[in-house]
């Protein structure tokens, strides 16, 4: 029987995970991975900053969901993974840094004694000390995170805690985010007969407060990419931008800047707006569906400050900055406090984020303007007066998919449409389960399983 051939388009974590699991599923499939850049990894990039490896995009992954950890285990990396040493974080609210109450579930405090004085009004605290029953009837099905939180614990909790925390994940607005996708545990709790707060208190009662929340690799997230590419070496086609995907005579045709390949199946692992371009000629209506997904742009600036000028609190991993502050920065991470391997001998390394779906100021700023504005924000929030010793700017335009209410159904519907009108074309990537690395690995693994079923079908 002739060897089946599958093209994977895009060698970010989603594409590489799908290729890895496809290879594991079926040794007799030839896999061709097309990547437009000369390196793999997409938004997982580690490069040297002040002599140590510091991530330019994602710097860790969530530990409480299995997919990324399981992949690391398969790659033989699990014993090398590390977790943050500092677990506390703050919010810049009312012109001061205030501790994020703990325990909390996605920002909803479960114990009012942990809420710093003045952070919430007495009315909000009174509500938080209750059961958390919604003050209106919540319809079935998906709702926005904002609708759920406003109804169960009030607008202050949403605006001052949940929105900054959840908005930090994909630079979106909690009032527009799908609760089913971004916070399924809150949606379930909101409908629970004990009330949202009671239910959350009971499910978190036995949680180990010392269990790791995040993992990373001390050599940076690129180490995971290197382990994947090592196992997929003969499949990699870097510097090979795909320009069009078509179908004729029972074969998929992949046109690249270097020629074309005919394959039996395609795992489409590029961001949705790129997938849309690739399908435009042959599948205009599918292309339109992919193009409907919105993306936020972010810029991440790494600052190195001499420790004689600024010393971060070793117990704090960093702080979030709500949009109401008007500052350009959205978050600041104290890398050396958070990760032991990023404790530089002379410098405090700060990773400062900017950009939200409704704040694109950073996009039109020159590098100098960006640095000036952010140094002014660091003066305001941390009282750093000196200039940094080292800086690095990593721009990530259109990098974080947004998930409006109903997104889960949209994805299921799109998968169905592909099955009928483009059998053998399977998508993976951030817009399925969320932007986090574990969600990307999950989409890659499931995409590989769907491809295996298709090839065997």
Ligand X SMILES: Cc1cc2nc3c(=O)[nH]c(=O)nc-3n(C[C@H](O)[C@H](O)[C@H](O)COP(=O)(O)OP(=O)(O)OC[C@H]3O[C@@H](n4cnc5c(N)ncnc54)[C@H](O)[C@@H]3O)c2cc1C
- Minimum CB separation of residue 239 from ligand X in Å reads 10
Contact between 300 and ligand X (CB under 6 A)? yes
10 Å CB burial of residue 243 (0-12, 13-18, 19+) is middle
Nearer to ligand X, 44 or 197 (CB): 44
* Edge-to-edge order in the sheet of strand 316-320: 96-99, 88-93, 316-320, 329-334, 347-354, 295-306, 390-401
Contact between 154 and ligand X (CB under 6 A)? no
- Minimum CB separation of residue 297 from ligand X in Å reads 9
Strand ranges in 80-217 using DSSP code E only, listed in sequence order: 88-93, 96-99, 104-105, 108-109, 214-215
Tokens, residue 274: 């790129």
Helix extents (H) in 96-144:
122-128
Nearer to ligand X, 194 or 359 (CB): 359
- Minimum CB separation of residue 455 from ligand X in Å reads 22
Nearer to ligand X, 110 or 352 (CB): 352
Among 58, 124, 320, 455, binds ligand X (CB under 6 A): 58
- Minimum CB separation of residue 241 from ligand X in Å reads 5
The CA-based dihedral angle spanning residues 340, 341, 342, 348, taken in that order and rounded to the nearest 10 degrees? 50
CA distance 232 to 13: 13
- Minimum CB separation of residue 13 from ligand X in Å reads 5
Contact between 241 and ligand X (CB under 6 A)? yes
Among 11, 100, 165, 181, binds ligand X (CB under 6 A): 11
CB 72 within 8 A of CB 63: no
Q: Quickly count: other Cβ atoms within 10 Å of residue 220's Cβ.
A: 24
Q: Which residues contact 159 (CB under 8 A, 6 or more apart)?
A: 322, 324
Q: Which residues contact 420 (CB under 8 A, 6 or more apart)?
A: none
Nearer to ligand X, 9 or 328 (CB): 9
Among 20, 21, 61, 283, binds ligand X (CB under 6 A): 61
Contact between 34 and ligand X (CB under 6 A)? yes
Subset of residues 419 to 438 that bind ligand X, contact rule: CB under 6 A: 429-430, 435-437
Contact between 15 and ligand X (CB under 6 A)? yes
Tell me the site size for ligand X, rule CB under 6 A.
Answer: 36
Contact between 12 and ligand X (CB under 6 A)? yes
Nearer to ligand X, 265 or 436 (CB): 436
350 vs 6, 75, 370, 378, CA distance in Å? Answer: 42, 30, 15, 10
Contact between 14 and ligand X (CB under 6 A)? yes
Helix extents (H) in 263-402:
272-279, 284-291, 335-338, 367-382
Subset of residues 366 to 425 that bind ligand X, contact rule: CB under 6 A: 396, 399-400
Which DSSP category does 314 fall into? T
CB 18 within 8 A of CB 8: yes
Among 10, 84, 220, 265, binds ligand X (CB under 6 A): 10
Among 4, 43, 407, 442, binds ligand X (CB under 6 A): 43
Tell me the helix, strand and coil percentages in the chain, rounded to 5: 40, 25, 35
Contact between 152 and ligand X (CB under 6 A)? no
Tokens, residue 378: 């660091």
Q: Which residues contact 183 (CB under 8 A, 6 or more apart)?
A: 106, 145, 148, 166, 177
Contact between 318 and ligand X (CB under 6 A)? no
Q: Quickly count: other Cβ atoms within 10 Å of residue 156's Cβ.
A: 18
* Part of the chain binding ligand X (CB under 6 A), chosen from 33-41, 79-87, 148-156, 182-190: 33-41
State the binding string over 257-276 for ligand X (x if CB under 6 A, else -). Answer: ------------xxx--x--
Contact between 101 and ligand X (CB under 6 A)? no
β 4-9/265-268 pair status: parallel
Contact between 351 and ligand X (CB under 6 A)? no
- Minimum CB separation of residue 273 from ligand X in Å reads 10
Contact between 132 and ligand X (CB under 6 A)? no
* Part of the chain binding ligand X (CB under 6 A), chosen from 55-63, 70-78, 322-330, 409-417: 55-63
Contact between 42 and ligand X (CB under 6 A)? yes
- Minimum CB separation of residue 445 from ligand X in Å reads 13
Interface positions with ligand X (CB under 6 A): 9-15, 34-37, 42-44, 57-61, 241-242, 269-271, 274, 298, 300, 396, 399-400, 429-430, 435-437, 440
């Amino acid at each position: 029987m002739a060897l089946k051939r599958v093209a994977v388009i895009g060698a970010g974590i989603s594409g590489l995970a799908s290729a890895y699991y496809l290879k594991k599923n079926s040794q007799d499939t030839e896999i061709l991975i097309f990547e437009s850049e000369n390196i793999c990894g997409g938004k997982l990039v580690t490069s040297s900053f002040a002599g140590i490896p510091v991530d330019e995009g994602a710097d860790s992954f969530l530990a409480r969901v299995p997919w990324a950890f399981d992949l690391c285990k398969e790659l033989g990396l699990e014993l090398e993974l590390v977790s943050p040493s500092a677990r506390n974080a703050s919010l810049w609210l009312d012109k001061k840094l205030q501790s994020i109450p703990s325990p909390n579930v996605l920002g909803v405090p479960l114990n009012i004694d942990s809420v710093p004085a003045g952070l919430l009004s007495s009315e909000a605290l009174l509500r938080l000390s209750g059961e958390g029953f919604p003050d209106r009837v919540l319809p079935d099905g998906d709702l926005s995170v904002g609708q759920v939180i406003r109804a169960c614990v009030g607008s202050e909790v949403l605006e001052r805690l949940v929105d900054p925390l959840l908005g930090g994940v994909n630079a979106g607005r909690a009032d527009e985010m799908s609760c089913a996708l971004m916070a399924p545990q809150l949606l379930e709790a909101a409908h629970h007969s004990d009330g949202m707060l009671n239910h959350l208190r009971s499910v978190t009662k036995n949680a180990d407060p010392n269990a790791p929340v995040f993992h990373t690799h001390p050599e940076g997230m690129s180490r995971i990419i290197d382990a994947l590419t090592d196992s997929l070496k003969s499949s990699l086609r870097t510097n090979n931008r795909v320009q069009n995907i078509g179908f004729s005579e029972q074969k998929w045709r992949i046109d690249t800047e270097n020629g074309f390949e005919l394959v039996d199946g395609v795992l489409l692992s590029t961001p949705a707006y790129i997938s849309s371009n690739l399908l435009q000629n042959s599948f205009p209506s599918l292309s339109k569906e992919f193009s409907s997904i919105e993306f936020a742009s972010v810029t991440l600036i790494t600052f190195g400050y001499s420790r004689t000028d600024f010393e971060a609190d070793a117990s704090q991993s960093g702080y979030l900055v709500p949009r109401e502050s008007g500052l350009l920065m959205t978050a600041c991470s104290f890398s050396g406090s958070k990760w032991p391997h990023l404790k530089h001998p002379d410098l405090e390394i700060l990773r400062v984020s900017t950009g939200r779906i409704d704040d694109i100021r950073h996009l039109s700023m020159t590098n100098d303007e960006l640095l000036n504005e952010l140094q002014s924000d660091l003066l305001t929030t941390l009282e750093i007066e000196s200039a940094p010793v080292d800086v690095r700017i990593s721009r990530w335009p259109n990098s974080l998919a947004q998930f409006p209410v109903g997104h889960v159904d949209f994805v299921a519907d799109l998968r169905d449409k592909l099955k009928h009108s483009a059998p053998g074309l399977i998508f993976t990537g951030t817009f399925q389960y969320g932007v986090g690395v574990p969600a990307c690995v999950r989409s890659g693994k499931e995409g590989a399983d769907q491809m295996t079923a298709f090839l065997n079908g």
